[in-house]
Structure 1
């Protein structure tokens, strides 16, 4: 199944689950996977060889290792999902995807080389959306 087909399937499932009353917080795993698929399409790459590949989720067309972080909505003060600092050496690029939980639409809100992204993180491996988008 193509990346686009799989993404379409997951978006439909997300919309169905939300229509059935599932809270967005219960769909985190699905949301993360949707963000990874969307990022792979965005860069013209492929998914990592393994689900939960240490350090990265997507492989760019030139072999670049991309970590994808998916956030639901753009609430002020909201953190980007944590980044495992022990895996930083395995990542070349970081993409942050925003999922609109009401519509299952996705957008890239940040795309940066890991060397530039990592210094923005606090000691626990977090950065706020505000710090990335302003």
Structure 2
């Protein structure tokens, strides 16, 4: 049975919380491939207003967009520019669009590295390697990364010269003079201190950007 958009949002939040908890327990992101893959598929279904593929281990694609596009979703937690994303060239004929996501384990946010029709992705792919796979280098994706504006805004509040926004997927953005501030956490920490908000969570660890941003937005709204 297909998930509703509300169920997708809830499942994505639960999966991200589970992922973060595993990291706090010392589990390496590379050991959470199945969970990160699930997070990526849920996120792709959310931003395309689509549905997860109906078959388990569907060959070629993972999500079907609202417009019927068959979407191959790849998710990584690699934070540097080294590494690559692999594809099976034998199933690319079943794909209409390629979405590549990265879970930023420092900020616990999902970043879109690529969201393009297959023909654009093919231009970035290398020739088949010894294992029969084609790949896209992360360095190419990071130099061509575009801001994504298709995720709905959940909350947005002004504070001095800043606008703090929480997107429907939990991502926190800070804007100044209509320009995105990155990283956002230093600004959020400054604002948090001005509201006497503790920047540490109950376990004594620093709040990530999503947690801190949510606290800051609530404090500004209450003011």
- Normalization by structure 2: what TM-score? 0.57
> Could you report, residue by residue, the CA deviation over 1:81-130 in whole angstroms, capped at 9, with x for unpaired residues?
x1010001100000011101244321212111112212321213111011
1:27 matches 2:36: no
**Quick one: distance in 2 between partners of 1:74 and 1:20?**
19
Q: What is the DSSP-based 3-state SS (H/G/I as helix, E as strand, rest coil) of the residue aligned with 1:97?
A: strand
Aligned to 2:153: none
Which structure would you say has the larger Rg? Answer: 2
**Quick one: distance in 1 between partners of 2:63 and 2:79?**
23
> Could you report, residue by residue, the CA deviation over 1:41-92 in whole angstroms, capped at 9, with x for unpaired residues?
1111111102321100010001110000111134122212x10100011000
1:127 matches 2:131: no
**Quick one: distance in 1 between partners of 2:63 and 2:69?**
8
- Structure 2: gaps of 5 or more residues: 144-223
1:117 matches 2:121: yes
User: Higher helix fraction: Structure 1 or Structure 2?
Assistant: 1
**Quick one: distance in 2 between partners of 1:121 and 1:33?**
24
Q: What is the DSSP-based 3-state SS (H/G/I as helix, E as strand, rest coil) of the residue aligned with 1:85?
A: coil
Number of aligned residue pairs: give it.
Answer: 133
Alignment RMSD, CA only? 1.4
1:56 to 55, 61, 70: 61
1:90 matches 2:94: yes
User: Higher strand fraction: Structure 1 or Structure 2?
Assistant: 2
- Structure 1: gaps of 5 or more residues: none
1:68 matches 2:73: yes
Q: What is the DSSP-based 3-state SS (H/G/I as helix, E as strand, rest coil) of the residue aligned with 2:71?
A: strand
Runs of 4+ off more than 2 Å:
101-104
Q: What is the DSSP-based 3-state SS (H/G/I as helix, E as strand, rest coil) of the residue aligned with 2:32?
A: helix
The answer to whether the 8 A contact 1:51-1:57 is kept is: no
Aligned to 1:106: 110
